[in-house]
Copies of this chain bind each other. A is one copy, B any other.
Amino acid sequence: MADIVRIGRHHLAIDGAAALSLRAVARDLGVVSSAVYRYVKSRDELLTLLVVDGYDELGDAVDAALAEVPGDDFVGRQAAIGRAVRAWALAEPATYALLFGSPVPGYEAPAERTLGPGTRVLRALVTLWTEAYAAGRLSPPEVEVSSTRLAAGFNAARDELGLDVPDSVVAACVFGWAALFGCLGWEVFGQYGRDGLGDPEALFELHLGMLAGAVGLS
């Protein structure tokens, strides 16, 4: 079982999710393809295993990075999260694509197995920004939520995460989350062109600063 996941990760890293083949995993395992079906119900099941594996590894990387930064250094914590996700994404672009890129056609990750590990990075960001807000170090732009459905969605999100923050902080969290991963995806997926504007790492550091400014973190 562990071998299957290991070889699967290897193939995922080399060939990408769409090319992940249970038969190839079986070949590398020195076994006929039907034997693998004893352990993994289907190719989608293997994908799910790799999704959970990836979320866990990314979550661990983020947690480890956060442990090195003092709790009241909010800008530093945000940068640590960003750099940790970026480093992991560049090291495992195919897994990053599987988790945060376009969905694999015909495959939907089962929420009951991926929702927990899948939101660890989001929770880390939300925790950071809400703590900063409580400490008076987050001044997000004012927003007015005129849509009652969106207000309900914000309330649901607040309940789910146990937060007590105004709409502007929720909006900043959502925007900051999406913007951060937007910058990351753009780099990992090569939208900046082949050379990434010369120095992708420096560009990302710039983006981290602009992100802090956008959510009002100081």
Residues of A within 8 A of B (CB): 15-19, 94, 97-98, 100-106, 141, 143, 145-147, 149-154, 156-157, 171-172, 174-175, 177-183, 185-186, 189-192, 195-199, 201-203, 206-207, 209-211, 213-214
What CA separation (Å) do A198 and B148 show in the bound complex? 9
- Taking a contact as CB atoms under 8 Å apart, the answer to whether A199 and B150 are in contact is yes
Q: Is the interface of A mostly helix, strand, loop or mixed?
A: helix
Tell me whether B105 and A143 are in contact (CB under 8 A): no
Q: What CA separation (Å) do A14 and B91 show in the bound complex?
A: 32
B101-A102 in contact (CB<8A): yes
Q: How far is the CA of A15 from the CA of B183 in the complex (A)?
A: 27
A36 to B33 Cα, complex, angstroms: 32
Residues from chain B with Cβ under 8 Å of A180 in the complex: 182
Provide 22 A-B residue pairs closer than 8 Å at the C-beta atoms, listed in order of the A residue. A16-B105, A17-B102, A97-B103, A98-B102, A100-B189, A102-B102, A141-B213, A145-B206, A146-B202, A149-B198, A149-B199, A150-B197, A153-B197, A154-B197, A157-B197, A174-B197, A175-B211, A178-B207, A181-B182, A182-B182, A210-B214, A213-B214
CA distance A181 to B98 in the complex (A): 18
Per CB-CB distance, the 9 closest pairs between chain A and chain B, nearest first, are A182-B182, A153-B198, A101-B102, A16-B105, A97-B102, A147-B202, A153-B197, A214-B214, A179-B179
